[in-house]
Amino acid sequence: MSNIIAFSNHKGGVGKTTSTVSIGAGLSKLNQKVLLVDLDPQGNLSQSLGINASSKNLYGFVRNHYPIEPIKVIKNLDILPSNIDLAGLEIELNTEPGREYVIKELLSSFSSSYDFILIDCPPSLGLLTLNAFTAATRIIIPLQAEYLAMHGLSKLMEVISKIQSRINPNLQVEGVIITQFDKRKILNKDIATTVGKHFGNKVFKTYIRDNVALAEAPSSGLDIFRYSPNSNGAEDYLHLSKEIISRFN
């Protein structure tokens, strides 16, 4: 069975998609077979890997327009891509019974084919995110080390608690990733300390340092390991990928 992890934070700009892409690529480098699922209608995950989702995408897979077929990115790394078509799915599913189970059912056919399935959630707490939480066994929360990024965490935890009690009792918060961290900034260190007090050992030991290469890589359609393998971003995400594997072994 795959380890299905949803990456979620309804605050934008916290490194959610960057973390999903980079951890997926990092796990693949460590000989884990990984499927990335782009559940954001903006399609940033797909764009970050240079994938054109216009011909086949998650919306078409869900609506049975064509057979479900993950696209190979590199060795050990596949993707179910998305584009703006996915925006209509939330409206179309609104009146369907069992609408929160659609993605779980779609992924069930892949559960034995991958070590990890990583879902990039949209920056909202709507039906698509609900589907991700229903399908996943774990949630990872990327959190920028800034004051405003702390706001809204309580609402996210409230939604997770409701999903656990009503739909998916196996769902757990696996951890929090501190992103865009600069140890020279007092605010960054203060935020990290506050998060550590609240989440305890669920905060990953590896902090993702603020690194320009992570911002540049998507424009080349490459993950950080192919774009800048010697960068701080590549080093941090490889360490984080190892930390994630150790938690699941």
| Segment 163-179, tens digit of pLDDT | 999 999 999 999 999 99
Q: How far apart are CA 119 and CA 197, in angstroms?
A: 27
> Taking 80 as the threshold, does the pLDDT of residue 151 lie above it?
no
Stronger pLDDT, 161 or 150, i.e. the higher one? 161
Domain count, the chain: 1
Please determine, for residue 139, whether its predicted confidence score (pLDDT) is greater than 80.
yes
Cα separation, 134 vs 111, whole angstroms? 14
The strand pair at 71-74 and 116-120 is best described as: unpaired
Q: What domain range is 214 assigned to?
A: 3-248
| Mean pLDDT to the nearest integer, 58-80 | 94
Task: Assign residue 159 the CATH number of its domain.
Answer: 3.40.50.300
Q: What is the per-residue pLDDT across 204-234, written as a single tens digit (0 to 9) for each?
A: 999 999 999 999 999 999 999 999 999 999 9
Task: Judge whether 41 and 122 are in contact, CB under 8 Å.
Answer: yes
Q: What is the structure's pLDDT at 55?
A: 85
Q: Give the per-residue pLDDT at 119.
A: 98
CA distance 33 to 195: 31
State the pTM of this model: 0.96
> What integer best gives the mean pLDDT of the chain?
93
Whether the predicted pLDDT of 131 surpasses 90: yes
Share of the chain above pLDDT 70, in %: 100
Q: For position 209, what pLDDT does the model report?
A: 95
Phi, psi (deg, nearest 5) at residue 59: -60, -45
| pLDDT over 80 at 152, yes or no | no
List, for residues 7-42, the tens digit of each pLDDT value.
Answer: 999 887 889 999 999 999 999 999 999 999 999 999
E strands, 59-192, where? 71-74, 77-80, 116-120, 138-144, 172-179
pLDDT band of 153, cuts 50, 70, 90: confident
Q: How confident is the model at residue 246, as a pLDDT?
A: 96
- Alpha-carbon span 233 to 22, nearest angstrom: 9
Residue type, 167: I
Q: Tell me, what's the pLDDT at 94?
A: 84
pLDDT at residue 110, as a whole number: 85
pLDDT of residue 13: 81
